[in-house]
Structure 1
Amino acid sequence: MTTEEGRQDRGTDREDGDFEEYADLGATTENAMDIAETSMDRVRKLVPDETLADRIRQKSVHATGDPEFQHLVRFTGETAEEPVVAGARAVLEERPIVTDITMVKAGITGRGHDCPVEKAIGNGAELAARTGMTRTAASVLELDRRGVYDGAIAVVGNAPTAALALADCIEDGTRPAVVVATPVGFVKAAESRKRLRDVAGEHGVPAITNVGRRGGSGLAAGLTNELVHVASDARSGEVDLP
């Protein structure tokens, strides 16, 4: 028997019920919904569940699998709730969601909103080649030149240079509706988020970031998705947006 024949035989012998353990973790099937809800129930036992900011902290723990990450999240605004409210309102207003790279875009949920979702990477190639700056920084600057970031949900999940470029754009007058920035790494990651926090605070742009070296695309997508979930709850009347 060939290897391929063996695979076919094993597949033929299985019944539909034998595949339940592989149920989609994207929370669209009944089994997956149970898994997702059980996971969040466990997170709520580890993280306070009183405010909209707590929902972002919970999602950070859910996305990283680390209860301590709740203490690394930072909110830029007059209150911790301000960037959450600003993000939810932007979702309700169907503002664009603009990510730095493809991986973050792929993690943005397609349910619960009608926001156009686009990525920066792939733009600004000529600028990158001419100046030697990173492709992600050039991409952010190119989209900003087109006015894409004004009023948008600006998401940076991977590249510190994208966060630094976005900070420069805000300093020069660009006003996103909200910024979610969790670039990861050992070179300029923490520094880029601090600069973004400082600039956002100075110019009144609500932002959600974190401290330390950790972060990443999955975290940025998860936090952005929680803004979508807050907006959905506001739409259904379960949440009042101040």
Structure 2
Amino acid sequence: MTTDGHATDDTDDGDVEEYADLGATTANAMEIAETSMDRVRNLVPDETLADRIRQKSVHATGDPEFQHLLRFTGTDDSEPVRAGARAVLDEAPVVTDITMVKAGITGRGHDCEVRKAIGNGAELAAETGMTRTAASVLELDSEGVYDGAIAVVGNAPTAALALADCLEDGTRPAAIVATPVGFVKAAESRQRLREVAAEQRVPLITNVGRRGGSGLAASLTNELIHVASDVRDGDVVLDEQ
């Protein structure tokens, strides 16, 4: 499969690192990944942890302007990155809205359970007429799944709206990545989530406008995992970022 715009190889290779950026596991794949990110760093600042997320958004979308569409909720732009990396180090679950986002999250560099919301809440959806993704978020929230987890919404605006309702009711994910895409409620859902996350002091990474999607959400989540891997290796100290 592909994530972050490059082919990934999930086979083991004794000649490469156990965890590699962008999912690359062969020498050729690593060369492509490193060259690509070097070019991105020429277009995006490389000073803070938030810059790493901006770089990843540009790499995932192929658009240097996307860096300006990202929004971060916290005491500073890097706070949700620190919170997400700490959650990865604590082996918190990663909960996605749909299957496509789950499939795009790397299996390397972490021991977190990665699960999807969709497929839960079928009875609630049938009874109320709400979307399956909204019902699935509410169902998992009723089970306490989102507390302390990394919540990821890459496709469904109604899932983002449901998650915002959960935050208002006291749910506290460790961090949220939300990039639902589309022309109906997408921008509005992210705006509401930003407002509620700011009020409830929940770290959030999102974007403005209609754009987004599953691939972007998976890529940004993968960068949280990569930051955690760098912390584990001693290359990043979270308290200094």
- Asked if 1:192 corresponds to 2:189, the answer is yes
Q: Which residue of 1 aligns with 2:53?
A: 56
After superposition, the C-alpha distances for 1:21-59 in whole angstroms (9 at most, x for unaligned) are x99585111111111111100000000000000000000
TM norm structure 2: 0.90
Matched, 1:87 2:84: yes
- Specify the alignment match of 1:201 in structure 2: 198
Give matches, 1:71-220, under 5 Å: 71-220=68-217
- 1-side partners of 2:191 and 2:91: how far apart? 28
Q: Kindly provide the CA deviation profile for residues 84-124 of structure 1, in whole angstroms up to 9, marking residues without a partner as x.
A: 00000000000000000000000000000000000000000
Look at both structures and tell me which one has the larger radius of gyration over its CA atoms. Answer: 1
The 3-state SS of whatever aligns with 1:75 is strand
C-alpha separation in 1, matches of 2:114 and 2:107: 9
Q: Deviations over 1:108-150 (max 9, x none)?
A: 0000000000000000000000100000000000000000000
Cα deviation 1:55-98 (Å, max 9, x = unaligned) = 00000000000000000000000100100000000000000000
Cα pair 1:23 1:31 within 8 Å, conserved = no
Residues 168 and 200 in structure 2, CA contact (< 8 A), matched pair in contact too: yes
Distance (whole Å) between structure 1 residues aligned to residue 221 and residue 81 of structure 2: 10
Do 1:23 and 1:29's aligned partners in 2 also have CA atoms closer than 8 Å? no
The one-letter code sitting in structure 1 at the alignment partner of 2:168 is E
Runs of 4+ in 1 over 3 A off after TM superposition: 22-26
Residues 69 and 208 in structure 2, CA contact (< 8 A), matched pair in contact too: yes
SS in 1 for 2:238: coil
Distance 2:228 2:207 in 1: 22
CA distance in structure 2 between the partners assigned to 1:118 and 1:55 by the alignment: 25
Q: Return closer, same or farther for 1:42/1:138 CA change in 2, 3 Å cut-off.
A: same
Q: Give the letter for the 1:223 counterpart.
A: L
What is the distance in 1 between the residues matched to 2:227 and 2:25?
19
CA–CA distance in structure 2, aligned partners of residues 28 and 150 of structure 1: 33
**Does the CA contact (< 8 Å) of 2:23 and 2:106 recur in 1?**
no
Gaps of 5+ in 2: 1-6, 10-21
State whether structure 2 residue 240 is matched by structure 1 residue 239.
Answer: no
Asked if the contact 1:104–1:220 (Cα under 8 Å) also holds between the matched residues in 2, the reply is yes
Query: SS at the partner of 1:40?
Result: helix
Q: Distance in 2 between matches of 1:221 and 1:46?
A: 21
The residue number in structure 2 matching 1:29 is 26
Deviations, residues 138-185 of structure 1 (Å, cap 9, x unaligned): 000000000000000000000000000000000000000000000000
Q: Which residue of 2 aligns with 1:68?
A: 65
Match of 1:16 in 2: none
Tell me: CA distance 1:158–1:236, structure 2 relative to 1, closer, same or farther (3 Å): same
**Conserved? CA contact 1:60–1:69, under 8 Å:** yes
Cα deviations by residue, 1:182-215 (Å, 9 ceiling, x for unpaired): 0000000000000000000000100000000000
Describe the shift of the 1:23–1:112 C-alpha distance in structure 2 as closer, same or farther (beyond 3 A).
Answer: closer
Match of 2:14 in 1: none
CA distance in structure 2 between the partners assigned to 1:165 and 1:192 by the alignment:
9
Q: Which has the higher helix share?
A: 1
Work out the CA distance in 1 between the residues paired with 2:27 and 2:233: 22
